[in-house]
Structure 1
Amino acid sequence: MAEECNHDCSSCGTTCGSDTRKKDMHEAPHELSEIRHVIAVVSGKGGVGKSLVTGLLSEAMSRKGRHVGIIDADITGPSIPKMFGVSAEICGSEAGAYPATTSGGIDIVSMNLLLENGSDPVVWRGPILSGVVKQFWHDFIWNDIDYMFIDMPPGTGDVPLTVMQSIKLDGIVIVTSPQELVSMIVEKAVKMASAMNVPILGLVENMSYFQCPDCGKKHEIFGKSHLQEIADQYKLEILGRIPMDPRLAAECDAGQVETLENIYLQDAAEKLLQLEKD
């Protein structure tokens, strides 16, 4: 029995020593795929705007001439196809399946593109959900992708754990909101990333403020932001603040996220471009 093991190794048929712990458990994508950088967009709770941030980051990198792919890993609550106005069915061949493509050239795979009716619920347990996300990764042919974004479900459950264990990530972007409660939620995401040895690229705050269209004054609807405090506490970079902008909501509801003039995540886009120099 290994020194740090707390059970009889003969019972599980393996050796739980340090060599096993350090084994690379990352899974390769499809043999015909070419994916250069992979970024997961995460949060410790739901409703803070992960999908919005995923959409805006994807659009920003696409406008910089990069080929972008999105895995919608929120299997039970997918929203990426709606945001991009995509309803095309997934196509397949003997070699593998191909993602759907937006009008702007972004490749997307989502559970909603596999259901006969997009409003049908997905009532599956955690291991099945995790298996589907892994299939999105290695059963689909991702052709010449510069940046792959993974829109994660909220929390630190089965799917986020599976993604961090199975897919080699260049880093994660943590999405937060101004409420003080969220600092605790961010801490959970930070600790999970640390435990999984995944780099944190930075923080994005959604619903940061509302700017009056008449006088231009900014109002902190959810109270004073704690983003800088959180960033200082964990030595993280602030990648952007997204306001409560009715235009954003309207364009996303209309499936027109690619038409938005994205001025809120330019720092985040520049941060991602630095990955090409590493």
Structure 2
Amino acid sequence: MSECAAKPPHNPEEERRKINDRMAQVKHKICVLSGKGGVGKSTVAVNLAVALAEAGRRVGLLDVDIHGPSVPTMLGIGPVLLTGTNESIQPVCVGSLNVMSVGFLCEDADNPFIWRGPMKMGVIRQFLGDVEWGELDYLIVDCPPGTGDEPLSICQLIEEPSGAVIVTTPQQVAAVDVRKSLRFCEKLSMPVLGIVENMSGFTCPKCGEVLDIFLSGGGESMAADFGVPFLGKLPIDPAVGRACDSGRPFIQSHAASETARLLNDIIEPLLKLGQHCTEDKVESGRVKELSGKNEL
């Protein structure tokens, strides 16, 4: 069993106040979700966060995939010693990106986190309330697959979430599970900012042609069925896998590639989020709550 442990829970009211105070400094909170594992959700989350930072935005990346935290590997972050005080934790800085991951909690990357629900929830509350995120334009949250404890807690604890980016692959076997994430967002009254269809075709490393090795269009069809935006398709690109393994974000290391261009196209609607705040949504100098909060 992992020797890492969360600290005892705070008074619930004090805990909620701290989370609200931290999240009030973040303009846009975006959860990256998928009802299916293995669709490249973390790869999309990392590259979206880096792309937003490259566009000059202040960005935080929170990895709460407790049983499979891959963000440290994808960003080339080795063992780190987290710093802070009894009341706060400093995020790890990667360039201009502020990062926190459950993967930072243990020195030995081979140790599993054999935690029950209360321990998981305690860590999530710590990451939201105790980490010194500061003033951010975006907080990208890489959630674990599914619609269980961790995604539910994140979506309920975040103050005024901007919405979710849903990641799928084209095959029906993935779409069946990913559709559950869309229903999940409906039940929580959380806006869906759009769907990304990952692994849509294969980019030949020799000629650059994109070949459909899976059926294409599953994500686009799903977006039409649910009436939500379709953000775009990303092909299987061998360079993406090499970039993830080497700890160099693909969108930086292969900025001139077609896949990087597609990633930048995907972030365009996210960059425009603030432009949708009209005067009738403003009250006392802050945006009114756009989504309800169901307690399940």
- Does TM, normalized by the shorter one, top 0.5? yes
What's the offset of the Cα at 1:228?
2.3
Counterpart-to-counterpart distance in 2, 1:273 and 1:91: 31
Is 1:27–1:166's contact at 8 Å kept on the other side of the alignment? no
Does residue 1:89 correspond to 2:81, yes or no? Answer: yes
Of 190, 197, 206, 1:198 maps to 190
For residue 232 of structure 1, what is the aligned residue in structure 2? 224
Counterpart residue type for residue 226 of structure 1: G
Does residue 1:256 correspond to 2:248, yes or no? Answer: yes
Of 35, 41, 53, 1:44 maps to 35
- 1:1-278 aligned within 5 A: 28-29=18-19, 31=21, 34-87=25-78, 88-102=80-94, 104-168=95-159, 169-257=161-249, 258-261=252-255, 262-277=260-275, 278=277
SS at match of 2:200: coil
What's the offset of the Cα at 1:55?
0.7
Is 1:86–1:101's contact at 8 Å kept on the other side of the alignment? no
What's the offset of the Cα at 1:32?
6.2
What's the offset of the Cα at 1:94?
4.4
What's the offset of the Cα at 1:89?
2.0
Counterpart-to-counterpart distance in 1, 2:56 and 2:29: 17
Is 2:204–2:237's contact at 8 Å kept on the other side of the alignment? no
Counterpart residue type for residue 174 of structure 2: V
What runs of 5+ residues in structure 2 fail to find an aligned partner? 1-14, 278-296
> What is the CA deviation profile of residues 195-226 of structure 1, one whole-angstrom value per residue up to 9, with x for unaligned ones?
00100000001111112234443211122332
SS at match of 1:172: strand
Instruction: Name the stretch that deviates more: 138-147 or 261-270.
Output: 261-270
Is 1:90–1:113's contact at 8 Å kept on the other side of the alignment? yes
Counterpart residue type for residue 247 of structure 2: G
What's the offset of the Cα at 1:263?
1.6
Counterpart residue type for residue 270 of structure 2: L
Counterpart-to-counterpart distance in 2, 1:99 and 1:270: 26
What runs of 5+ residues in structure 1 fail to find an aligned partner? 1-24
> What is the CA deviation profile of residues 240-269 of structure 1, one whole-angstrom value per residue up to 9, with x for unaligned ones?
211111111101111001434222222321
Counterpart residue type for residue 275 of structure 1: L
SS at match of 1:37: strand
TM-score (norm 2): 0.80
Is 2:29–2:163's contact at 8 Å kept on the other side of the alignment? yes
Between the two proteins, the alignment pairs up a number of residues equal to 253
What's the offset of the Cα at 1:69?
0.5
Counterpart-to-counterpart distance in 2, 1:242 and 1:224: 11
SS at match of 1:265: helix
Counterpart-to-counterpart distance in 1, 2:218 and 2:22: 44
Instruction: Name the stretch that deviates more: 193-202 or 113-122.
Output: 113-122
SS at match of 2:121: helix
More helix by share: 2
Counterpart residue type for residue 190 of structure 2: V
What's the offset of the Cα at 1:182?
2.3
Counterpart-to-counterpart distance in 1, 2:254 and 2:18: 34
Counterpart-to-counterpart distance in 2, 1:43 and 1:247: 23
Counterpart-to-counterpart distance in 2, 1:30 and 1:199: 20
Counterpart-to-counterpart distance in 1, 2:236 and 2:174: 17
Counterpart-to-counterpart distance in 2, 1:112 and 1:153: 13
What's the offset of the Cα at 1:27?
6.1
Counterpart residue type for residue 263 of structure 1: R
SS at match of 2:165: strand
Q: Who wins on radius of gyration, i.e. which is larger?
A: 1
Is 2:201–2:211's contact at 8 Å kept on the other side of the alignment? yes
